[in-house]
Structure 1
Amino acid sequence: MNEYLVPLTSACTLVTLNYMAMKVRSKMLIESYEHFLAPLLTGLACIIMMLEPLPEPLGLIDLRSLPIFMAGLRYGLPVALLSTVLPSGFSLLFQESNAWFITAQDLIAPALISSLFHNKEYRSGFLDIPIRHGLLICSFLFLLRLLIHGLLESHLSWPYAGDQLFMLAIMSATFIILIIMVNDENKSWRLQRQLELQANQDGLTKLPNLRSFLPIADNALLKGRVSIFMIDLDNFKQYNDRFGHLEGDQLLREISSVLRHLIHEQDYIARYGGEEFILLSTEIDPLRLRIYAERLCSLVADTFLHKNHGDTAPITISIGISTAEEPQVELTRIISEADHALYESKHRGKNRSTFYKDVPFINQKMNA
């Protein structure tokens, strides 16, 4: 009976190694882990399984395949194949009997089979790995090995088949435990991300809030000159009074969605508060900034033309723009200047943009 304890010990070792690997992954960038550490740790886990050889009757199914299973299922074929390099080299170096055949059967085949069930959402953690995938992968490899062994041997005895079914059960149970561990880790990560998102996202518009905007803008100012747009929804109070707060909230959602799709890809927009939005732009050329701002005003006005009614003012936006004259200027100063420019746009009739440098000096002092 002692031979049946060996695979159980190997399974416990593998679960422990998987736990350690997850802890390492949680401390690193996902990209760095996938490119370097995932293949390395997977390969080392395979070698450790190879150092715990199974008794001869149980030797058809080796637990060295399980780390490769997880690599292929979670990260895809490239990582799985890369993970086979270390154990393949180890097998050849120590001259295992039929090393090339064992490498193909116990390492390459598991990488190919498991990667067939790979989903890119498994890698990111946004989707749990179905347990049925683990069962299917183990079953496919078991049948493949049984078929190969049947072709090489003249007959299969019932005791031998029973031993292999025992190993299939051990392998499947261990793989299921590994999948459950990974899924639990992903759930914790998703919960943490959701909490962070709630803390940094405006609940109504789903845009970033000012809390998340400020450190990003500060960091951008440290690197170089940027521009700040203060954007205000014109006549919002009148719209709210006419149609009610629910319709007003819906308008804010729609405006937010439109602005998110209209801004430049590298720019960052957030809800400042109320019906105001703030935009961080890497553009600093005055002419291009003016064209950019006028385009925003024009497209917003055209988009919401259908909501205009005879007894309400049109739905438009006003914009105030300030550009940092030099890097590392205080962010609060740039925001304040853009806010003064926004006030000037309102004063001049709305649905327009104004640069802070174009605000009359007397108005700058009045708004200071």
Structure 2
Amino acid sequence: MNEYLVPLTSACTLVTLNYVAMKVRSKMLTDSFEQLLAPLLTGLACIIMMLVPLPEPLGLIDLRSLPIFMAGLRYGMPIALLSTVLPTGFSLISHENHAWFNIAQDLLAPALISSLFHNKEYRNGFLDIPIRHGLQICTYVFLLRLLIHALFVSGLSSHYVGDQLFMLAIMSGTFITLIIMVNDESQSWRLQRQMELQANQDSLTKLPNLRSFKPIANHALAKRQMSIMMIDLDNFKQYNDLFGHLAGDQLLRDISHVLRQHIHEKDYLARYGGEEFILLSSETDPTLLSLYAQRLCFMTAQSFQSNSESVLTPITISIGITTAELPQAELTQMIFEADQALYESKRQGKNRFTHYKKLPVLDQKMNA
């Protein structure tokens, strides 16, 4: 009876190894190293399983297939096959009996079978791995082993089938445990990501907020010259007074949508607060910046021109622009300069743009 405790001990060892691997992945792993670290850890887990051979009556050598199952299911065929390299080398170096047969049955076949159930969303944690996939993989490998034994060994006896069913239960239970552990880790990661997103996203407009804008802007300014545009929605208080705060909230959502559609692809737009938005742009040429701001003003006014409400309160934006003279400019100073330029746009009649270092020819009223 003690012989049946050996696979249970191996299964507990494998669960522990999986827990350690997940912690290593969460603390150390980056995408650039995952291609190497995942097969390395999987291969080492296979070798540890190979060091604890199962009793001969159970008809299996060890539980080396289980780490391969997880590699194929979560990472796909390339990683699964790469994960077989270390245990294959260990099997050959240790002069294991029937080495090539065992490699084909317990490493390569599981890698191929489990890879059939792979989904790329399992790898990045955006999707939980279904328990049924684990049961299907274990069942297919179980049937494959019965077929191989019947064809190439000595047929099927009731004792052999019974032992194989016991091992199927051990493998299925262990594999399901591994899947549950991975899913729990993925759910925790998704929850953390959601909380981070909520902390860095404006809940009304779904744009990034100022908290997330600042580190990105500081990082960009440390490397090169950049421009900042402060964008303010004109007549917003009057609009709120006339149509109510719910309509005002919807207007902010609509304005953010229009701006998102018409900013340059590599630029970064965030909600600064209230009815103000801030734009980090890689454009630094004054003339091109003027054309850029002019287009934003024009497209905003045009987008709301057909609204009957806009007759009473024209929906337009004013923009203040500043450009860093040198790399490593202070973000706080640039925001101050863009604010000053924005105030000048407001003072001159709104629906216009102004450079901090003014270009009078280009700082023209947009509805002229």
TM > 0.5 between the two? yes
Partner of 1:260: 260
Partner of 2:200: 200
Contact map agreement 1:128 1:186 (CA 8 A) in 2: yes
DSSP 3-state at the match of 2:306: helix
Contact map agreement 2:149 2:155 (CA 8 A) in 1: no
Question: C-alpha root-mean-square deviation of aligned residues, in Å?
Answer: 1.8
DSSP 3-state at the match of 1:306: coil
Partner of 1:329: 329
Partner of 2:183: 183
Distance in 2 of aligned mates of 1:147 and 1:53: 22
Partner of 1:53: 53
Alpha carbons of structure 1 residues 357 and 25: separation in structure 2 relative to 1, 3 Å: same
Partner of 2:210: 210
Deviation, 1:303, is 2.8
Unaligned stretches of 5+ residues in structure 2 = 361-368
Contact map agreement 1:307 1:315 (CA 8 A) in 2: no
Q: Residue type matched to 1:300 in 2?
A: T
Partner of 1:40: 40
Alpha carbons of structure 1 residues 146 and 307: separation in structure 2 relative to 1, 3 Å: farther
Alpha carbons of structure 1 residues 356 and 24: separation in structure 2 relative to 1, 3 Å: same
DSSP 3-state at the match of 2:52: coil
Q: Please report the TM-score for the alignment, with normalisation by the length of structure 2.
A: 0.92
1:358 paired to 2:358: yes
Post-superposition Cα deviations, 1:257-295, rounded to whole Å, max 9, x if no partner, equal 332333223221111000101111122122222222222
Distance in 2 of aligned mates of 1:147 and 1:242: 79
DSSP 3-state at the match of 1:48: helix
Partner of 1:24: 24
Contact map agreement 1:61 1:142 (CA 8 A) in 2: no
Alpha carbons of structure 1 residues 61 and 305: separation in structure 2 relative to 1, 3 Å: farther
Deviation, 1:161, is 0.3
Partner of 2:12: 12
Alpha carbons of structure 1 residues 196 and 160: separation in structure 2 relative to 1, 3 Å: same
Alpha carbons of structure 1 residues 269 and 163: separation in structure 2 relative to 1, 3 Å: same
Task: Map 1:99-178 to 2 at 5 A.
Answer: 99-178=99-178
Alpha carbons of structure 1 residues 310 and 270: separation in structure 2 relative to 1, 3 Å: closer
- What percent of counterpart residues are identical? 76
When structure 1 is superposed on structure 2, of 14-23 and 192-201 the one drifting more is: 192-201
Contact map agreement 2:225 2:325 (CA 8 A) in 1: yes
Distance in 1 of aligned mates of 2:61 and 2:267: 54
Partner of 1:92: 92
Contact map agreement 1:226 1:284 (CA 8 A) in 2: yes
Distance in 1 of aligned mates of 2:258 and 2:225: 26
Distance in 2 of aligned mates of 1:52 and 1:306: 77
Deviation, 1:154, is 4.3
Distance in 1 of aligned mates of 2:310 and 2:188: 52
Q: Residue type matched to 2:166 in 1?
A: F
Contact map agreement 2:59 2:163 (CA 8 A) in 1: no
DSSP 3-state at the match of 2:312: coil
Distance in 2 of aligned mates of 1:223 and 1:83: 40
Q: Residue type matched to 2:49 in 1?
A: M
Contact map agreement 1:46 1:67 (CA 8 A) in 2: yes
Deviation, 1:328, is 1.8
Q: Residue type matched to 1:292 in 2?
A: Y
Deviation, 1:308, is 4.4
Post-superposition Cα deviations, 1:4-36, rounded to whole Å, max 9, x if no partner, equal 111111101100100110110111244034222
Deviation, 1:214, is 1.2
Deviation, 1:63, is 1.4
DSSP 3-state at the match of 1:102: helix
DSSP 3-state at the match of 1:168: helix
Distance in 2 of aligned mates of 1:13 and 1:83: 19
Partner of 1:245: 245
Contact map agreement 1:341 1:359 (CA 8 A) in 2: no
Partner of 1:225: 225
Partner of 1:364: none
Q: Please report the TM-score for the alignment, with normalisation by the length of structure 1.
A: 0.92
Q: Residue type matched to 1:142 in 2?
A: F
Q: Residue type matched to 2:124 in 1?
A: S
